[in-house]
């Protein structure tokens, strides 16, 4: 069902909120718990469409998963060789993480399976996982364009090998390490830039033999996965990001975001916003599940444009829609380069954000691998399209708070994939935002 928002202009943002659980960690917690021996209690699980799709797929694969209360799951692990052949297709919905990690995991099973997704996911490139998995001995068919549905043939003998990745992608790295659990010999992965390391760290917490050295991540197979008993999912930095930008750009704002995961491979936007002049304090940092979690206090501050260093792109890969908004409202020029991956996310995020911000009066010049944003022009009201991309929709709702008139944001239903209660929490903090009638 199509859902449009009417947003802005808005006043100061105040109060305190807890953002929902981390999407990357929630996906992996369910997957690894399903493959482990023993029972795993997951606390802080993201109740989003993407992560629920992953949980539903493991239920189809015969894993018993209880949901005793919202944000909790109890997963009764089936063990590495305990999954059952599914009766039908496995629907990953909108989730690239779900589909790519499952491709690796299912390549090692002794049954066939078919991974399908929604229109957006069915357009996204899958050869980046299928080709290296094929080199390990997997058999996976795609469409001629290299897209889903993915038909994964079971019963193949996988062989560990060395993979030098061309793209910095935690999803590809994770898919190969998961296939490596089922391979003969060692599976090694080298990334062009380090990416989020939840798979390595969580696999280790589940007892897998994952080693690192000389730029390689090596999975030595042969050990069963064993449940650590409990997994605590931190708040999702990528969901907090919209509020970090919103409170920075709306005068008079003073907002507290509680329990935000600060994995260093995720917090590039924090560094970038601070370089732009943002006032963000990290309060009460603490350890949780091997990662730092903290509360973030963000107060309005005048922002200025910066050059985002290309090496930082993987550390803020999901935050560019929010960054584009900060840049449009900052004084001076912001340059983004080395970010061509943005074109193959849930939408072409460079094109979608450039078009939408330009429609509001911003000066955004698209580049093949980024954009040049000349900030400071006043934003006007109008109609923009999020192209069904959850992060573009939320970023545009932030931009609307500083517009001079109301903004109609089209196609926002997919916000439910990562942040179902965004609109409710946003309104609690002072956003002007409602569903169009």
Tokens of 108: 């090692």
341-373 burial code (b ≥16 CB/10 A, e <16):
bbeebbbbbbebbbbbbebbebebeeeebbbbb
Q: Verify binding: residue 24, ligand S3P, rule CB under 6 A.
A: yes
Identify the H or E element spanning 371.
strand 370-375
Q: Which is nearer to ligand S3P, 317 or 415 (CB)?
A: 317
Closest by Cα among 430, 437, 432, 385 to 412: 385
Of 168-176, 177-185, 218-226, 255-263: span binding ligand S3P (CB under 6 A): 168-176
Beta-strand ranges (E) seen in 268-338 are 279-288, 291-299, 307-308, 332-336
CB of 169 to ligand S3P, least distance (A): 3
Q: Verify binding: residue 318, ligand S3P, rule CB under 6 A.
A: yes
Per-residue binder mask for ligand S3P (CB under 6 A), 346-385, x = binder: ----------------------------------------
Q: Verify binding: residue 240, ligand S3P, rule CB under 6 A.
A: no
CB of 408 to ligand S3P, least distance (A): 27
Q: What is d(CA 265, CA 164) in angstroms, rounded to the nearest whole number?
A: 19
Of 167-175, 200-208, 267-275, 296-304: span binding ligand S3P (CB under 6 A): 167-175
CB of 334 to ligand S3P, least distance (A): 20
CB of 23 to ligand S3P, least distance (A): 7
CB of 187 to ligand S3P, least distance (A): 17
Of 68-76, 170-178, 208-216, 407-415: span binding ligand S3P (CB under 6 A): 170-178
Q: Verify binding: residue 94, ligand S3P, rule CB under 6 A.
A: no
Residues designated catalytic: 318
| 433-435 and 5-7 strand pairing | antiparallel
Per-residue CA distances from 413 to 49, 245, 282, 372 (Å): 11, 22, 32, 29
Q: Verify binding: residue 26, ligand S3P, rule CB under 6 A.
A: no
Q: Verify binding: residue 171, ligand S3P, rule CB under 6 A.
A: yes
31-49 burial code (b ≥16 CB/10 A, e <16):
bbbbbbebebbbebbbbbb
CB of 222 to ligand S3P, least distance (A): 25
Beta-strand ranges (E) seen in 110-229 are 113-116, 139-141, 150-153, 162-164, 187-190, 209-213, 216-220
Q: Verify binding: residue 170, ligand S3P, rule CB under 6 A.
A: yes
Q: Which is nearer to ligand S3P, 248 or 263 (CB)?
A: 263
Q: What is d(CA 15, CA 430) in angstroms, rounded to the nearest whole number?
A: 9
Q: Verify binding: residue 169, ligand S3P, rule CB under 6 A.
A: yes
Q: Which is nearer to ligand S3P, 64 or 166 (CB)?
A: 166
Q: How many Cα atoms sit within 13 Å of 192 on the Cβ side?
A: 12
Decide: 285 and 262 in contact? Cβ < 8 Å.
yes
Q: What is d(CA 362, CA 329) in angstroms, rounded to the nearest whole number?
A: 8
Q: What is d(CA 324, CA 334) in angstroms, rounded to the nearest whole number?
A: 9
Q: Verify binding: residue 113, ligand S3P, rule CB under 6 A.
A: no
Q: Contacting ligand S3P (CB under 6 A), which of 317, 409, 416, 425?
A: 317
Of 165-173, 361-369, 396-404, 409-417: span binding ligand S3P (CB under 6 A): 165-173
Q: Verify binding: residue 130, ligand S3P, rule CB under 6 A.
A: no
Q: Which is nearer to ligand S3P, 249 or 317 (CB)?
A: 317
Q: What is d(CA 90, CA 102) in angstroms, rounded to the nearest whole number?
A: 10
Number of residues that bind ligand S3P (CB under 6 A): 11
Binding site for ligand S3P (CB under 6 A): 24, 96-97, 169-171, 174, 196, 317-318, 341
């Amino acid at each position: 069902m199509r859902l449009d928002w009417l947003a802005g202009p808005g006043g100061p943002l105040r109060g305190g909120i807890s953002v929902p659980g981390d999407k990357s960690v929630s996906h992996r917690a369910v997957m690894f718990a399903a493959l482990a021996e023993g029972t795993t209690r997951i606390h802080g699980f993201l109740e989003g469409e993407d992560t629920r799709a992953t949980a539903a797929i493991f239920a189809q694969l015969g894993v018993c998963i209880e949901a005793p209360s919202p944000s909790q799951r109890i997963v009764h692990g089936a063990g590495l060789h305990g999954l059952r052949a599914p009766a039908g297709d496995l629907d990953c919905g909108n989730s690239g993480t779900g589909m790519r990690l499952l491709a690796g995991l299912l390549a090692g099973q002794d049954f066939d399976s078919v991974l399908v997704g929604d229109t957006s996911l069915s357009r996204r490139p899958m050869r980046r996982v299928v080709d290296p998995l094929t080199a390990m001995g997997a058999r996976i068919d795609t469409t001629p364009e290299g897209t889903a549905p993915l038909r994964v043939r079971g019963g193949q003998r996988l062989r560990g090998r060395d993979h030098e990745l061309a793209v910095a992608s935690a999803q590809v790295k994770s898919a190969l390490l998961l296939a490596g659990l089922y391979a003969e010999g060692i599976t090694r992965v080298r990334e062009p830039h380090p990416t989020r390391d939840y798979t390595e760290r969580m696999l280790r917490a589940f007892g897998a033999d994952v080693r690192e050295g000389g730029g390689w991540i090596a999975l030595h197979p042969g050990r069963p996965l064993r449940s650590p008993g409990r997994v605590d999912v931190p708040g999702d930095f990528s969901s907090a990001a919209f509020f970090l930008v919103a409170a920075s750009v709306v005068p008079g704002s003073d907002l507290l975001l509680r329990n935000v995961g600060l994995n260093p491979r995720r917090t590039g936007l924090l560094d970038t916003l601070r370089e732009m002049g943002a006032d963000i304090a990290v309060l009460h940092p603490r350890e949780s599940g091997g990662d730092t979690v903290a509360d973030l206090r963000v107060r309005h501050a005048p922002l200025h444009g910066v050059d985002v260093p290309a090496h930082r792109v993987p550390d803020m890969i999901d935050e560019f829609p929010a960054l584009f908004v900060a840049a449009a409202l900052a004084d001076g020029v912001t340059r983004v380069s080395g970010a061509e991956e943005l074109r193959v996310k849930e939408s072409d995020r460079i094109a979608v954000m450039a078009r939408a911000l330009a429609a509001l009066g911003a000066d955004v010049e698209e580049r093949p691998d980024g954009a040049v944003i000349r900030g400071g022009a006043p934003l006007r009201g109008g109609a923009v399209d999020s192209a069904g991309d959850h992060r573009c929709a939320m970023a545009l709702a932030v931009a609307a708070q500083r517009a001079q008139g109301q903004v109609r944001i089209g196609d926002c239903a997919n916000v439910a994939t990562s942040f179902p209660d965004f609109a409710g929490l946003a309104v609690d903090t002072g956003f002007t935002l409602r569903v169009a009638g």
